A and B are shown apart, each in its own frame.
Chain A
Amino acid sequence: MIFDMHMHIENRSSWIVTAEDCIRAMDEASVDKAAVMTLGDYPGLNPDAIELVTEAMSRYPDRLYGLARLHPGHLETSQATLDRAVTHLGFVGLKLHPVSTHQHPAGEATIALVRQAGELGVPTLFHCGDEHMTTPLAIAETAAACPGSVIMLGHMGGYFHVDEALQVAERYPNVVLETSAMPYPEKIIEAVRRVGAERVVFGSDGPVASPIVEKQKVVIAALGADDAALVLGGNAARMLRLGS
């Protein structure tokens, strides 16, 4: 089973992408299942975000799994939404993007939300790249403050912060590295060697990025059958409790 941990649907931002776009890209790449989230945060940038993802999950119940992309600046609303999304709507995680929310990963609101995700038993996927408030060292503050929460570094540091992402993952056992968009297959090999295949997950940032291209990055990494199976889907199945 191949699981893509990072895909998007959106109906309001500059990039409009549908659940059907995701499915088409997944089929092209022979990806079985994917985590989907909006490009805009709820509440605020996309007031339809939760309904949009819920509807996508209902249309493709065995293929799309929702992450609630929430805005820590609206903490009360976001906490209530996260609880409802996970306990009633079937969402499997939280997504945070500090570039769009302007909420620092070390901020009280972000920490409260990430802790809540941990208490609900779901992971948090952070956008983790080269921009302010998204670097691995910034998100390390969250990892330190929320030891009971699983934190995925989406893009595992982007173009110029991948080595720092590896260092942060070594330092904090609750940190998982997600492979999308960063362009170095050899860093996937290094990640597996340094933190273990159990803490590396495949993602594409599709469908605007290409799942078939992103999957090829893992193939080129030549991890070996057992490690590749974990990275490409086994870890996601365990972390998201698929099938349970």
Chain B
Amino acid sequence: MTTTSSPDAIIDGLVYLGRSHYGWSHTADELIAGLNRVHIGSAIAVAAHPTGADFQAANDQLLAAAGGHRQLIPVARIDPWAERPGELSRVVRAGAKGVFLHPAEEHFRINDQVRVRPIMEAAAEHDVPVMIAAGFHLMAEPLQLGEAAGWVPELPVVLTNGGQFNISGGSQFDVELIMEQNPNLHVHTTAMYRQDFLERVVTRRGPDRLLFASAAPLFTMEFERARADLMHVDATQRALIMGGNAARIFRLGAAA
């Protein structure tokens, strides 16, 4: 094992920011303090599910926070149920580096042709990747995620938490299948307890398909950093996982 030496090169692939409808909050100052404490250079940030479901305001607050903190890379949270068809374009033009979908919290099925496919296609038209909160029963199961990824093969799609939530390990087979079928799919390291799965992603699908992420504050930044640091990968692979892949996929340029 080797650890990444330069904190500036490390990008946390997902953090949440703001006050959530579900009872927690995470301020920009708290987030920056966490990044500094765990020696992470920057983070891809998305808005928490806002109370009152005002996603436009939540995205604006996120963009404002990113404007004041160069360590934050904003990604637009889009609600397929919202009656704002231009929100994705607006937020991307305002500086968002990608689109975030949370099927469980916004309560939609990720392979819904009517509600979701147009968003994926719009993201492709704007040339920004899509990140999806993955692994939720009925809403974002691995095979459903694979179907959605297949709609737009040229669009990079990043799945949170290894593409699954399953403490028996059985969902790994579905995730391995969709990653084989969809070269545009990538997964986060967050909360994925099966280290052998994460390492198989690297050996079978390539080191360019795995991204370190903490998903703080829902998960513990320090532990998630340790989970990624303790993977059995070489220095080149580690550099991609800990930041290089995020920089490439989200086109972060000098931030990488």
Query: Contact residues of A with B, CB < 8 Å?
Result: 14-15, 97, 99, 127, 129-131, 155, 158-160, 180-186, 205, 207-210, 212-214, 216-217, 220
Interface size range on B against A: 20 to 34
With both beta carbons as reference points, the residue of chain B lying nearest to A158 in the complex is identified as B167
Across the interface, do B223 and A205 meet the contact criterion of CB distance under 8 Å?
no
Instruction: Enumerate chain A residues within 8 angstroms of B194, measured Cβ to Cβ.
Output: 208-209
Across the interface, do B168 and A209 meet the contact criterion of CB distance under 8 Å?
no
With both beta carbons as reference points, the residue of chain B lying nearest to A29 in the complex is identified as B230
Query: Contact residues of B with A, CB < 8 Å?
Result: 165-170, 173, 191, 193-196, 219-220, 222-224, 226-227, 230
CA distance A127 to B220 in the complex (A): 23
> Which of A15, A159, A205 has the most chain B CB within a 10 Å cutoff?
A159
Instruction: Enumerate chain A residues within 8 angstroms of B224, measured Cβ to Cβ.
Output: 183
> Which of A155, A184, A212, A213 has the most chain B CB within a 10 Å cutoff?
A213
With both beta carbons as reference points, the residue of chain A lying nearest to B170 in the complex is identified as A99
Across the interface, do A159 and B191 meet the contact criterion of CB distance under 8 Å?
yes
Across the interface, do B195 and A186 meet the contact criterion of CB distance under 8 Å?
no
Instruction: Enumerate chain B residues within 8 angstroms of A182, measured Cβ to Cβ.
Output: 167, 193
CA distance A209 to B230 in the complex (A): 12
**Smallest distance from the beta carbon of B104 to chain A beta carbons, Å?**
11
Across the interface, do A183 and B169 meet the contact criterion of CB distance under 8 Å?
no
Instruction: Enumerate chain A residues within 8 angstroms of B165, measured Cβ to Cβ.
Output: 130, 159-160
> Which of B170, B193, B222 has the most chain A CB within a 10 Å cutoff?
B193
CA distance A208 to B168 in the complex (A): 12
With both beta carbons as reference points, the residue of chain A lying nearest to B173 in the complex is identified as A14
Across the interface, do A216 and B223 meet the contact criterion of CB distance under 8 Å?
yes
Majority-rule SS of A interface residues: loop
Name the contact of A181 in the complex, choosing from B173, B193, B222 (C-beta under 8 A): B193
Instruction: Enumerate chain A residues within 8 angstroms of B191, measured Cβ to Cβ.
Output: 159, 183
CA distance A15 to B230 in the complex (A): 21
Instruction: Enumerate chain A residues within 8 angstroms of B227, measured Cβ to Cβ.
Output: 213, 216
Name the contact of A185 in the complex, choosing from B173, B195, B223, B230 (C-beta under 8 A): B223
10 A-B contact pairs sorted by A residue (CB < 8 Å): A99-B170, A129-B167, A183-B224, A185-B222, A207-B196, A208-B195, A209-B193, A209-B195, A210-B195, A213-B195
Across the interface, do A208 and B223 meet the contact criterion of CB distance under 8 Å?
no
Across the interface, do B219 and A184 meet the contact criterion of CB distance under 8 Å?
yes
- If A213-B195, A214-B193 are given as contacts, then 18 extra A-B residue pairs at C-beta distance below 8 Å, sorted by A number, are A15-B169, A99-B168, A99-B170, A127-B167, A129-B168, A131-B167, A159-B165, A159-B191, A160-B165, A181-B167, A183-B219, A183-B223, A184-B219, A185-B222, A205-B193, A208-B194, A210-B195, A213-B230
Instruction: Enumerate chain A residues within 8 angstroms of B173, measured Cβ to Cβ.
Output: 14
With both beta carbons as reference points, the residue of chain B lying nearest to A39 in the complex is identified as B169
